[in-house]
Amino acid sequence: MQRTANITELRKLVAEKKRLGKAIALVPTMGYLHRGHLTLIENAKQTGAYVVVSIFVNPLQFGPNEDYARYPRDLERDARLVEEAGVDLLFHPSVEEMYPQPMVTFVEVSQLDKVLCGANRPGHFRGVTTVVSKLFHIVQPDIAFFGQKDYQQYLIIRRMVSDLNLPLEVRGVPIVREEDGLALSSRNVFLSAEQRQEALILSRSLREAEGLIKNGERSAREIEEFIRKTISRESQGLVDYIEVRDADDLSDVVNIERPVLIALAVRFGSTRLIDNKVVEVEPDV
Ligand code: AMP
Q: In this structure, what is the dihedral angle of CA atoms 108, 113, 117, 123, given to the nearest 10 degrees?
A: 30
pLDDT digits (tens, 9 = 90+) for 109-129: 999 999 999 998 999 999 999
Binned at pLDDT 50, 70 and 90, residue 282 comes out as confident
Domains plus CATH for the chain? 2-173 (3.40.50.620), 186-279 (3.30.1300.10)
Catalytic annotation, pick one of 37, 92, 124, 137: 37
pLDDT tens-place string over residues 62-80: 999 999 999 999 999 999 9
DSSP secondary structure code for residue 94 in this structure: -
Q: How far is the CA of 151 from the centre of ligand 1 (A)?
A: 10
Mean pLDDT of 209-221: 98
Question: Is the Cβ atom of 272 under 6 angstroms away from ligand 1?
Answer: no
Q: What is the pLDDT of residue 284?
A: 63
Pocket test for ligand 1, best of 26, 34, 37 (most atoms within 8 A of CB): 37
> How far is CA 77 from its chain centroid?
21
Asked if residues 260 and 279 have their Cβ atoms less than 8 Å apart, the reply is yes
The answer on pLDDT for 258 being more than 70 is yes
3-state secondary structure 102-144: CCCCCCCCCCCCCCCHHHHCCCHHHHHHHHHHHHHHHHCCCEE
Q: What is the DSSP string of 159-176?
A: HHHHHTT-SSEEEEEPPP
pLDDT tens-place string over residues 42-69? 999 999 999 999 999 999 999 999 999 9
Residues 254 and 246: their CA atoms lie apart, in Å, by: 10
CA 26 to chain centre: 14
3-state secondary structure at position 200: helix
Query: Span 24-42, mean pLDDT?
Result: 98
